[in-house]
Structure 1
Amino acid sequence: MQSKNPVISDFVKLANSAAGTFAGMARETQDAARERIKEAMGGMDFVSREEFDAVKDMAAKAREEAEALKERVAALEAKHAGDSGKP
């Protein structure tokens, strides 16, 4: 059932407009806050997730290579120790 009262109709239109305005203000406030945070953090030396992951992968590979080299050196030292006992 619709009301034919123009006062109520005008009030509903006003309430809808106010709700839209408040929603827009909330979005603008959120966007402005996000921009301020970006500006504040812009001077700091943060790295992106991609850069972090790339360096993390490089470090893991370097650790693996270091372990392999450590095993190789141990094997060569053991071989050298066995060879030095021969006449």
Structure 2
Amino acid sequence: MQTRNPLLDEFAKLTTGAMGLAQAAGEEAKTAFRSGADRMAADLDLVRRDEFDALKAEIAALRAEVAALKSPVKTAKKPATGTSTGRVPPQDAAG
């Protein structure tokens, strides 16, 4: 045997409405926060992670190229005239 109490029915409707309103307000706050964070990131000129990694790899390749260009070139140099070891008499064991 069920009885309908109009006071309890109204209270249930009120709490259901309040919960729906609170949920909607939470979603609205989350959306506003994300929008503000996106706007702030755009204002600060922040880069995305994939762009940062690509630039980092490019810089590493350029540094390796610069290091290779700065290293001394290994070529056979001709000795200056008069420094040939063929004219110097060999040293004996006494020195």
TM-score, structure 1 normalization: 0.64
Please name the residue that 1:17 is paired with. Answer: 17
Corresponding residue pairs, total: 80
| RMSD value, Cα | 2.9
Deviation at 1:39, TM superposition (A): 2.5
Q: Which has the higher contact order (CA 8 A, sep 6+)?
A: 1
Comparing 51-60 with 40-49, greater Cα deviation is found at: 40-49
Deviation at 1:41, TM superposition (A): 3.4
Deviation at 1:35, TM superposition (A): 1.7
Give 1:19's aligned amino acid: M
Deviation at 1:9, TM superposition (A): 2.2
TM-score, structure 2 normalization: 0.60
Q: Secondary structure at the match of 2:13?
A: helix
1:28-77 CA deviation, whole Å, 9 max, x = no partner? 1221122223223322221122210110111222344445x26xx4561x
- The alignment status of 1:46 with 2:46, answered yes or no, reads yes
Please name the residue that 1:84 is paired with. Answer: 78
Comparing 4-13 with 45-54, greater Cα deviation is found at: 4-13
Unaligned runs of 5+ in 2: 85-95
Q: CA 1:4/1:59 → structure 2, altered by over 3 Å: closer, same or farther?
A: same
